[in-house]
């Protein structure tokens, strides 16, 4: 997949999503009355997706969860065999079945500019892996379907080498004739059918399972659906190569009524030509905080903001220079007030997201929880400007970011 997937149109759209207005446009009234905050769920993390092109080459893509913006696409070497199904175990390890029924471990080396194989694919099993779909839940369980049968395996090592590390095969049930299958959480699967239904399965410790029908129709266009966790779903349309994203406010409630559709800001309107896609599991997560942070205590909000910034992207922003840029940026935009509401637009909150509802990707409490807003804002800055200082420099030059 070429790097041209980061289209100029997507950058234009992403710019429109920011609070691209100076703090001077905020009225005193907009800054004095804060809606009451309540404990709720907030989310954060990253989205990384491996893929295999029709010519057998491996790809690695990252997507900014805050906006759905495609951040990076890397293309690597040909795997050397005809793949059939794949599952990502971790950042550097992917399992792939072949059309001949073999199971391979693919060891990956990747950074911001390159995607290479650490070694040729390692054949773990010569035969028996005739699965048409494969997915890993990030908690030790590998799932697959073969001939309508759902199978579960225990993976005990980050780089399994054989039966000692991939075993305890369980037949979970029959009738699993699915169009797509992905792990959405610990022992929780998300699937679609050829008729367009969106289904959720919860696998219990005793081997039983429960199914929830999230949507009866509307998902038939997707031939690939993947999830990095936290109720974040990505779907690829085979006919156009477009990628769309969705956020389930509560993926464990058995209902699809709270799934937010972001069809107005797709990841891409084309270009996703991989025959297989697999998200790294459990990289995006949601937590419930209680009691909530007192969002009217601005020094306390800033302290949390600095902690979140310092931990972002593995600590790569952990410096007084980056904090100085972020503090000044949101001082100008909102004064770090979670209730800052721009009267000239629908920009809202600490990062002045435009519209504020875009922050629902990071929590249903985006109106009142400064932590949710900060997490969203950091993800937005990462996807659009790489660092807080990149965003601050843009603000200084243009009076928006």
Phi and psi, residue 361, nearest 5°: -65, -20
Question: Residue 75 contacts by C-beta under 8 Å, 6 or more apart in sequence?
Answer: 1, 2, 53, 57, 58, 59, 115
Q: Which residues of the chain have pLDDT under 50?
A: 1-31
Nearest to 308 by CA among 347, 341, 336: 336
**Could you tell me the CA-to-CA distances from 264 to 2, 106, 388 in Å, in that order?**
23, 36, 26
Note the pLDDT of residue 40. Answer: 67
Question: What's the pLDDT score for residue 279?
Answer: 98
Q: pLDDT digits over 4-46, tens only?
A: 333 333 333 333 333 343 443 444 334 456 766 655 678 889 9
Beta bridge partners of 109: 116
Buried b (16+ CB within 10 A) or exposed e, 75-102: bbeebebebbbbbbbeeebbbbbbeeeb
Measuring CA to CA, which residue among 227, 358, 365 is closest to residue 288? 365
**Cα separation of 234 and 202, whole Å?**
20
Q: Are 309 and 388 in contact (CB under 8 A)?
A: yes
pTM recorded for the entire structure = 0.82
CB 336, CB 259: distance < 8 Å: no
Instruction: Specify whether the CB–CB gap between 335 and 301 falls below 8 A.
Output: no
Residues 6+ apart with CB under 8 A from 351: 18, 19, 330, 333, 334, 359, 373, 374, 376, 377, 380, 381
- Tens digit of each residue's pLDDT (9 = 90 or more) over 105-132: 999 998 878 999 999 999 999 999 999 9
Rounded CA separation 199/214 (Å): 5
Q: How far is CA 282 from CA 15, 182, 238, 260, in A?
A: 28, 12, 25, 20
- Rounded to whole angstroms, the Cα distance separating 163 from 232 reads 32
Do residues 45 and 285 touch, judged by C-beta distance below 8 A? yes
Q: Any idea what the Cα angle at residue 319 is, between residues 315 and 322, rounded to 5°?
A: 100
């Amino acid at each position: 997949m070429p790097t041209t997937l980061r289209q100029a149109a997507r950058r234009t759209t992403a710019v429109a999503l920011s609070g691209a207005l100076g703090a001077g446009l905020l009225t005193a009234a907009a800054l004095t009355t804060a809606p009451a905050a309540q404990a709720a769920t907030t989310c954060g993390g990253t989205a990384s997706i491996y893929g295999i092109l029709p010519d057998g080459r491996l790809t690695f893509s990252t997507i900014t969860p805050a906006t759905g913006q495609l951040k990076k696409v890397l293309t690597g070497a040909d795997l050397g065999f005809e793949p059939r199904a794949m599952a990502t175990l971790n950042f550097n390890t992917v399992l792939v079945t072949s059309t001949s029924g073999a199971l391979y471990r693919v060891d990956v080396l990747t950074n911001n500019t390159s995607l290479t194989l650490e070694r040729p694919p390692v054949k773990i099993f010569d035969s028996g892996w005739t699965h048409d779909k494969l997915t890993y839940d990030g908690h030790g369980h590998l799932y697959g379907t073969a001939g309508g049968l759902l199978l579960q395996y225990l993976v005990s090592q980050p780089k399994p080498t054989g039966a000692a590390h991939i075993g305890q095969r369980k037949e979970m049930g029959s009738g699993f004739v699915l169009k797509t299958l992905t792990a959405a959480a610990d022992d929780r699967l998300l699937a679609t059918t050829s008729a367009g239904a969106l289904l959720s399965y919860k696998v219990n410790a005793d081997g039983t399972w429960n199914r929830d029908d999230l949507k009866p129709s509307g998902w038939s266009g997707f031939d690939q659906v993947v999830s990095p966790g936290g109720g974040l779903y990505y779907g690829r349309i085979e006919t156009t190569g477009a990628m769309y994203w969705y956020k389930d406010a509560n993926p464990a409630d058995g209902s699809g009524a709270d799934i937010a559709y972001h069809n107005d800001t797709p990841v891409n309107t084309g270009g996703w030509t991989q025959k297989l896609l697999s998200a790294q599991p459990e990289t995006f997560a949601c937590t419930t905080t209680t009691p909530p942070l007192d969002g009217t205590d601005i020094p306390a909000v800033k302290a949390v903001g600095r902690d979140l910034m310092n931990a972002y992207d593995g600590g790569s922003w952990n410096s007084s220079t980056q904090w100085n840029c972020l503090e000044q940026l949101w001082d100008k935009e909102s004064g770090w007030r979670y209730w800052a509401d721009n009267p000239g637009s629908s920009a809202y909150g600490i990062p002045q997201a435009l519209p504020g509802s875009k922050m629902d990707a990071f929590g249903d409490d985006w109106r009142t929880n400064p932590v949710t807003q900060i997490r969203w804002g950091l993800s937005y800055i990462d996807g659009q400007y790489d660092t807080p200082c990149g965003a601050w420099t843009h603000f200084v030059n243009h009076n928006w970011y």
